[in-house]
C-alpha cells in the first residue's frame, strides 16, 4: 500500500532507543532505508491544521460575508466630540514585538517635580467603529480574542480595523481613551483621570532594540534618534517603571520570569525556535498596562459601575509550592502568602539566574489559570494573587480581546453620562463565555506551537533531553524540554513524579497533525 508523505507513520519507524546517528552508522542497505525515510519527512500546511483545530474547538476561522461587507463600508468618519482632548503633540510612542501590526496602546510621561511624575496610557478607541451588536461586534463576541499561530494570525476584528482604522499606527492621528495618573517617588499611584483624546504615534518601536539600548548593550534605535525628545522621554518612562516595579514587589507582586518560545516558520517549514524573555522594554509596557488596568478598575468603582476581573484565586497547590521551596532549603508559610512567595523567588533568582525561568514556569503552573468574573462596586475584591492587586480589570487591548472592548463601552458610558450598555445578567454570561473561549483559543495556540516545533524534532527520535514536569493529574503528566523549547506528554516513567521535578526524557513519538509529542523517562 502506498504511503502518503503527509501521513507517514513516523512514530512506528523511530520507536526504538537507537538514535539517528547510530542508524546512519548501520550497514549500507539500512543506510539506504534511512535516506529513504528522510525523503518521507512529513510536510504539512500549518495554516490548514490551525483552521481544523479551531473548528474542532468551535472557533470561527473566517469572517462571514456580512462581516466582510460591513467592514468594506466602515470608514473613520473623523467625528470628534467637543469633550475630546487634542494631544497629538505629546511624544507618544508604541513598543511592541518586531512584527506587531495590531497596536492597542501608546505611552507618554512627564516629571511634575522632584517627587512626582505623571504617566499617560492611550488605549485604542475601537467602539466608535465597532458599535455594540453590529455584525462585526457579534463576530468579535464569538471568538472573543485574536488567535496567534506560527503561520497566521486569526484577528478578532477584520484587518482593515484591527491593523488599520483602530490601530494606533505610526504617523497617524487616532481616537483613544487616555488613562492619566500621578506616580510619586516611591512608585505609589496618586490622582488619576480618564478621558477621550486624539493622539498621534510618533514612533513605532520594538521591544528588543529598545531594551538593548536601555540596558546599555546596543545603539539607540534609529526611530528614537529621529524624533526630537524621544530619547529623554523613554529614559523617563524607564525610570518610572523601576519605581512602579519596586512598589509592586513590596506589595507582594510575584517576580516571575518565564520564557516564551516562538517557532519561526518559512514556507510551512520550521527553521528555528526563538525565546522571548523579559527585558527592560517589556517591563516598561507591562508595568504601564498594569497601572492602566488598575486605574480603570478604580475609576469604574468610583462611578459605582461593575467591571470585569481576571482573578487568580488562592493557589490550589500551595502545598506543592511549599515542598519545592523546602527542597531548595527555604521555608514558606503553610497558608498561601504572595509576599513570602515573592521573597523566595527573588532570592532564587539571585542564587541561580540560569534556572530561574524553570522555577517560574513551575510556580505559574501550580498557581493555576485565571478566570473572568464580574465585580460590583460594593463587592469585597477577590484580587489577583500573582499581581498583588485588589483592583484590577482588563482594558488595554480592545482590538484583540473582547472583554476589553466591553470595558471600553462601560467607560465611555460613564464619560458621556449615558446608561450602562449591558445588563448585569449579560455581563455575567459574557464573563463565562470569554473564559471558555480564551481557554479554547489558548489550546489552539499551544497545539500549533507544538506542531510547528515538531518539524525541528523530526531528526531527534530516540535522543535524550533535560526536562521539567509542568503538569501532573488524571489527564496525564506533561513535560517541558529546554533545547529546543517544546512541551510534550510523558507516557512512560511518570509514576511518583510531580510538577517541578527535573528528569531526563527520550523522544518516542510525534504526530504533527494532531499536535502530540510523547516522551518516556530515561
- Give the model's confidence band at 470: pLDDT under 50 very low, under 70 low, under 90 confident, else very high: confident
Q: What would the grid cell of residue 44 be?
A: 504539512
The 10s digit of each residue's pLDDT in 256-299 is 666 666 666 665 555 556 666 678 999 999 999 999 999 999 99
Q: What is the pLDDT of residue 231?
A: 98
For CA atoms 335, 339, 340, 341, give the dihedral sign: positive
Q: What DSSP element (H or E) covers 141? A: helix 135-143
CB 209 within 8 A of CB 95: no
> How many C-beta atoms lie closer than 10 Å to residue 391's C-beta?
19
The 10s digit of each residue's pLDDT in 4-40 is 333 333 333 333 333 333 433 433 343 443 334 444 4
Q: What DSSP element (H or E) covers 435? A: helix 424-457
Q: What would the grid cell of residue 514 be?
A: 494532531
295-313 in b/e burial notation, b at 16+ Cβ within 10 A?
A: bbbbbbbebebbbbbbbbb
In SS3 terms, 168-212 reads as: CCECCEEEEEEEEEEEECCCCEEEEEEEEEEEEEEEEEEHHHHHH
Higher pLDDT, 387 or 1: 387
State the Cα–Cα distance between residues 303 and 300, nearest whole angstrom: 5
- Give the model's confidence band at 64: pLDDT under 50 very low, under 70 low, under 90 confident, else very high: very high
Where do the H-state alpha helices sit in 458-508?
none
CB 125 within 8 A of CB 166: yes
Q: What DSSP element (H or E) covers 367? A: helix 356-367
Q: What is the pLDDT of residue 259?
A: 61
pLDDT at 50 over 80: yes
The 10s digit of each residue's pLDDT in 339-397 is 788 788 888 878 877 677 778 777 877 877 778 889 887 765 555 555 444 566 889 99
Q: What is the pLDDT of residue 391?
A: 62
CB 399 within 8 A of CB 126: yes
Q: What DSSP element (H or E) covers 92? A: strand 92-96
pTM: 0.81
State the Cα–Cα distance between residues 438 and 143, nearest whole angstrom: 8
The 10s digit of each residue's pLDDT in 207-232 is 999 999 999 999 999 999 999 999 99
- The β-bridge relationship of strands 485-492 and 476-482 is antiparallel
Higher pLDDT, 404 or 272: 404
Give the rounded percent of residues in the chain with a pLDDT score beyond 90: 53
CB 295 within 8 A of CB 179: yes
Q: What is the pLDDT of residue 32?
A: 42
Q: What is the pLDDT of residue 13?
A: 33
pLDDT at 243 over 50: yes
Q: What is the pLDDT of residue 273?
A: 63
Q: What is the mean pLDDT of residues 147-167?
A: 95
CB 306 within 8 A of CB 374: yes
Q: What is the pLDDT of residue 43?
A: 61
Task: Identify the top-confidence range among 6-15, 192-201, 450-459.
Answer: 192-201
State the Cα–Cα distance between residues 70 and 136, nearest whole angstrom: 7
Instruction: Give the closest residue to 45 by CA, choosing from 505, 512, 367.
Output: 512
- 75 class by beta-carbon count within 10 Å (0-12 exposed, 13-18 middle, 19+ buried): exposed
Q: What would the grid cell of residue 41 be?
A: 519527512
Mean pLDDT of the chain: 84
The 10s digit of each residue's pLDDT in 87-139 is 999 999 999 998 899 999 999 999 999 899 999 999 999 999 999 999 999 99
Q: What is the pLDDT of residue 357?
A: 73
Q: What is the pLDDT of residue 1?
A: 36
Q: Which residue has the cell 450598555?
A: 421
Amino acid at each position: 500500500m502506498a504511503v502518503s508523505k503527509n501521513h507517514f507513520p513516523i512514530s512506528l519507524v523511530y520507536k526504538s532507543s537507537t538514535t539517528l546517528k547510530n542508524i546512519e552508522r548501520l550497514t549500507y542497505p539500512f543506510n539506504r532505508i534511512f535516506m529513504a525515510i528522510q525523503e518521507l519527512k512529513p510536510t504539512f500546511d500549518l495554516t490548514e491544521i490551525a483552521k481544523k483545530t479551531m473548528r474542532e474547538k468551535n472557533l470561527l476561522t473566517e469572517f462571514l460575508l456580512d462581516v466582510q461587507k460591513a467592514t468594506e463600508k466602515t470608514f473613520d468618519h473623523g467625528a470628534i466630540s467637543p469633550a475630546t482632548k487634542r494631544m497629538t503633540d505629546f511624544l507618544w510612542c508604541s513598543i511592541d514585538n518586531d512584527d506587531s501590526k495590531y497596536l492597542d496602546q501608546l505611552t507618554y510621561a512627564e516629571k511634575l517635580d522632584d517627587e512626582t511624575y505623571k504617566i499617560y496610557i492611550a488605549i485604542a478607541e475601537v467602539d466608535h467603529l465597532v458599535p455594540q451588536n453590529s455584525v462585526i461586534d457579534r463576530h468579535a463576541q464569538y471568538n472573543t480574542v485574536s488567535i496567534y499561530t506560527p503561520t497566521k494570525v486569526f484577528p478578532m476584528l477584520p484587518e482593515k480595523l484591527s491593523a488599520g482604522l483602530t490601530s494606533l499606527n505610526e504617523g497617524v492621528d487616532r481616537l483613544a481613551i487616555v488613562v492619566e495618573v500621578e506616580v510619586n517617588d516611591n512608585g505609589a499611584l496618586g490622582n488619576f483621570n480618564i478621558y477621550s483624546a486624539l493622539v498621534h504615534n510618533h514612533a513605532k518601536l520594538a521591544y528588543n532594540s529598545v531594551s538593548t539600548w536601555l540596558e546599555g548593550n546596543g545603539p539607540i534605535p534609529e526611530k528614537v534618534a529621529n524624533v526630537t525628545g524621544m530619547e529623554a522621554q523613554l529614559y523617563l518612562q524607564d525610570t518610572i517603571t523601576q519605581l512602579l516595579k519596586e512598589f509592586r514587589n513590596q506589595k507582594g507582586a510575584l517576580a516571575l520570569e518565564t520564557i516564551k518560545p516562538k517557532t519561526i516558520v518559512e514556507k510551512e517549514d520550521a527553521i528555528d525556535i526563538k525565546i522571548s524573555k523579559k527585558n527592560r522594554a517589556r517591563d516598561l509596557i507591562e508595568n504601564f498596562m498594569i497601572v492602566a488596568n488598575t486605574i480603570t478598575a478604580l475609576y469604574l468603582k468610583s462611578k459605582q459601575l461593575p467591571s470585569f476581573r481576571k482573578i487568580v484565586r488562592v493557589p490550589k497547590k500551595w502545598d506543592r509550592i511549599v515542598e519545592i521551596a523546602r527542597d531548595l532549603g527555604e521555608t514558606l508559610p503553610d497558608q498561601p502568602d504572595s509576599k513570602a512567595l515573592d521573597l523566595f523567588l527573588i532570592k532564587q533568582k539571585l542564587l541561580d539566574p540560569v534556572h530561574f525561568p524553570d522555577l517560574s514556569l513551575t510556580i505559574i503552573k501550580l498557581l493555576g489559570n485565571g478566570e473572568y468574573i464580574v465585580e460590583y462596586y460594593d463587592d469585597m475584591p477577590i484580587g489577583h494573587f500573582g499581581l498583588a492587586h485588589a483592583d484590577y480589570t482588563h482594558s488595554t487591548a480592545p482590538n484583540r480581546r473582547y472583554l476589553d472592548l466591553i470595558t471600553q463601552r462601560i467607560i465611555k458610558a460613564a464619560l458621556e453620562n449615558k446608561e450602562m450598555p449591558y445588563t448585569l445578567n449579560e455581563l455575567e454570561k459574557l464573563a463565562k463565555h470569554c473564559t471558555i473561549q480564551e481557554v479554547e483559543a489558548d489550546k489552539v495556540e499551544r497545539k500549533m506551537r507544538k506542531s510547528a516545533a515538531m518539524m525541528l524534532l523530526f531528526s531527534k527520535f530516540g535522543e535524550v533531553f533535560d526536562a521539567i514536569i509542568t503538569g501532573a493529574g488524571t489527564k496525564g503528566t506533561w513535560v517541558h524540554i529546554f533545547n529546543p523549547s517544546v512541551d510534550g506528554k510523558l507516557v512512560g516513567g511518570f509514576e511518583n513524579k510531580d510538577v517541578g521535578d527535573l528528569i531526563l526524557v527520550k523522544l518516542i513519538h510525534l504526530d504533527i497533525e494532531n499536535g502530540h509529542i510523547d516522551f518516556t523517562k530515561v
